[in-house]
Chain A
Amino acid sequence: MNGIHDMGGMHGMGPIRPERNEPVFHEAWEGRAFALSMAVDGDWPYGADRYQIELIPPKEYLRQSYYEKWVTSLVELMIKAGMVTSAEISGGKAIGPRTKAGHVLTAAEVPSMVEAGYPANRNVPATPHFRAGQQVRARNMNPVGHTRLPRYTRGKIGTIVRDYGVFEFPDTSAKGLGDKPQHVYSVRFAARELWGEQASRYDSVCVDLWDDYLEPA
């Protein structure tokens, strides 16, 4: 979706303000919000959590801090998955018989969960449609769902730098329409192709793009 989250190339956000000796969590609730998001086993499809954050209306998206957005997304996903109800969230108390929980992460399982992560590559054969060195155009498409094709690349010509192999496709997965495994490439765009003459002729932006986002140029 052409949401506020797709902010590459926007003007007007202001200067960057790094903080010296920044703590990992600024307040205790940030750590709890982070841990809740990691611990809840919702079994939602790949990309669904990102899409849920993208659905936060633009004004709210800019107002909420990072971990506030995580909590907003987590609550909505849990309601959709039937793990909690809106009434329970608003009442702060469980209502009715306990619904069947998925696996509940224990402290002893945390190290192995962190160490394993959630690989998104797929060990299935898929024909690569492009090869390193080839010129490609990022498709001009404007899907209303989740996508990883940033607006600033659409219609622009770049060069395949390398093929990273086969990965799940978030555009279909986030909608519950399946993995649609396909190749992901690093595509290098000259800064001037993206931004015009104001950019340095030496500079470039490399963007990781799935097969379905590209066409031969």
Chain B
Amino acid sequence: MTTTRRDFLAAAVTAAGAAVTPELAHAQEHDHDHGHDHQVVPSDPALRVKALESLLVEKGLVDRAALDALIDTYEHKVGPRNGARVVARAWSDSAYKQRLLSSPDAAIAELGYGGLQGEHMVAVENTPKVHNLIVCTLCSCYPWPVLGLPPVWYKSAQYRSRAVIDPRGVLREFGLELGDDVEVRVWDSTAELRYLVLPERPAATEKMSEEALAALVTRNSMVGVGKVTLQAQGARA
């Protein structure tokens, strides 16, 4: 990389018309190398991304309306409510559950979900004796069509490093203490398969509608760091 921080920030301001921040003013005062700490990469990713977007639009490589549509898709259309509907359907319809476990892509597509970062899905079922936990130690692979984009903790070095070596410690931090004789089965998403945990249906929900069941299903329960309870707040947590 030959770009210096100062060049980059100056360019970013020109290109993006950003306000001069104290940090930037400092950078502009210097045109020499000096001892105190400057990060190699600009500390303000907002400026960096704004400059990059302007450049790519100017070069005709991206269309701003497509960027807006992508953001809208993942902020408002694709998220853990989708997965919650899949789980609630599996709880309510045993034939659907069998399809979900044996042909997950087709079963998930029945509810209208699938595609990007969920092209090859696998559903793994929690039972009283097996608790499944999903991680991607090498990256942050996550089943977008059913759970949306991953939360920061899932992408963190903490979770990625520990889930495979200390899954019970990780679960304890999420408030989940499992019996010693329960098998904790961790799925490391190293290839292109993407995993969805089918959590256990809570007791005393026999009379609940599919819609009411879906409202109980949390994102965390579908990653395997939580269980579904009657107190759940829905798929936001």
Task: Determine the interface band of chain A, counting residues with CB < 8 A from chain B.
Answer: 35 or more
A21 within 8 A of B: yes
CA distance A13 to B160 in the complex (A): 9
| A35 pairs with B168, CB closer than 8 A | no
With a CB–CB cut-off of 8 A, which chain A residues contact B8?
90
Which residue of A has the minimal Cβ distance to B16? A92
| B183 pairs with A101, CB closer than 8 A | no
B38 within 8 A of A: no
Chain A positions 10-40 with a Cβ under 8 Å from a chain B Cβ: 10-11, 13-22, 24-29, 31-36, 38-40
B237 within 8 A of A: yes
Task: Determine the interface band of chain B, counting residues with CB < 8 A from chain A.
Answer: 35 or more
Which residue of B has the minimal Cβ distance to A75? B52
CA distance A8 to B8 in the complex (A): 35
- Prevailing SS type, chain B contact patch: mixed
B27-35, B85-93, B112-120, B198-206: which one contacts chain A?
A: B112-120
Chain A positions 195-217 with a Cβ under 8 Å from a chain B Cβ: 195, 199-200, 202-210
| A60 pairs with B41, CB closer than 8 A | yes
The residue from B149, B152, B186 contacting A205, defined by CB atoms under 8 A apart: B186
Which residue of A has the minimal Cβ distance to B183? A202
With a CB–CB cut-off of 8 A, which chain B residues contact A6?
137-138
CA distance A135 to B70 in the complex (A): 44
| A152 pairs with B2, CB closer than 8 A | no
CA distance A73 to B149 in the complex (A): 19
With a CB–CB cut-off of 8 A, which chain A residues contact B62?
36, 39-40, 104-105
Q: 4 shortest A-B CB distances, which residue pairs?
A: A92-B15, A8-B137, A208-B191, A92-B11
